[in-house]
Structure 1
Amino acid sequence: MITINPGTGPVPDATEANAGASAAVFVLDLSAKGLPVADAVRSPEQDHGEGRYAFTLTMADPTRRTVEVQMPGLSIERVRFMGEDGQNIWHFPRLYVDGSSCVWQFALDACEPDEEDGE
């Protein structure tokens, strides 16, 4: 079997409660990175389905731009890949940030403003 983009498929055993708890930690990680979030809202009408749950984050930057995050509904230790010792990237599902898939560590980077956002 050849895997082209691991972690992008369905997320079995996912729950909305786990996704909400993980989204709260994601917001904290963004703040620690210097990207504070003014508001985080669950957006069920935007769900991709198959175990991912949509959240709309309104950033606290001057543009108050929004970012859509599709959060896998697994417990935080199964979603929050930060490249730490003992973590295997192949075992972590990907988040989607504005439609692009990436593991948690890089999803944080994907929330940074674009150059044209005036930052």
Structure 2
Amino acid sequence: MNVIINPGSGPVAEATEAHAATNITVFGDDLRRAGLDVLACNRMPDDDYGDGRYAFELEMADGGSIEIQMPGLPVERVRFMGEDGQNILDFPRLYIDGSSYVWEFALSVCEPDNEDDDS
């Protein structure tokens, strides 16, 4: 019997920093569309996990910040939104302040009332 716990949380093969930079821009845009005021996105290379994820800090208008470890694959291979044809098992997880989520759920975790959510 195989048990899968947090699929997509392992190393990301063939990742690049360039893809991660594109992805964090799209993620920030998704947050803005959801009504969050993202002021800036800063690259933090010293905080990279070293497994194909690249560290960024989003500065928020409320004075807070969010650390995101972004997978460095093309956005269509990272941006799981539960759309037809997407299989959650095929997508790597982002790490938000140390906890892993697929893209769709990572967006909701970044909302101010969910910042301390451990789910």
Q: How does the TM-score come out when normalised to structure 1?
A: 0.92
Native 8 Å contact 2:109 2:115 kept in 1:
no
1:80 Cα shift?
A: 0.2
Matched, 1:82 2:81: yes
Gaps of 5+ in 2: none
**Structure 1 vs Structure 2 CA RMSD:** 1.6
SS at match of 1:3: coil
Q: Percent identity?
A: 62
SS at match of 1:53: strand
Would you say how many aligned residue pairs link Structure 1 and Structure 2?
Answer: 115
Deviations 1:74-110 (A, max 9, x none): 0000000000111100000000001110000000011
1:44 to 1:115, Cα distance in 2 relative to 1, 3 A: closer
Q: How does the TM-score come out when normalised to structure 2?
A: 0.92
1:4 Cα shift?
A: 1.2
The corresponding residue for 1:40 is: 41
Native 8 Å contact 1:27 1:36 kept in 2:
no
Return structure 1 stretches of 4+ with deviation > 2 angstroms.
114-117
Deviations 1:31-59 (A, max 9, x none): 00001210100001111111000000001
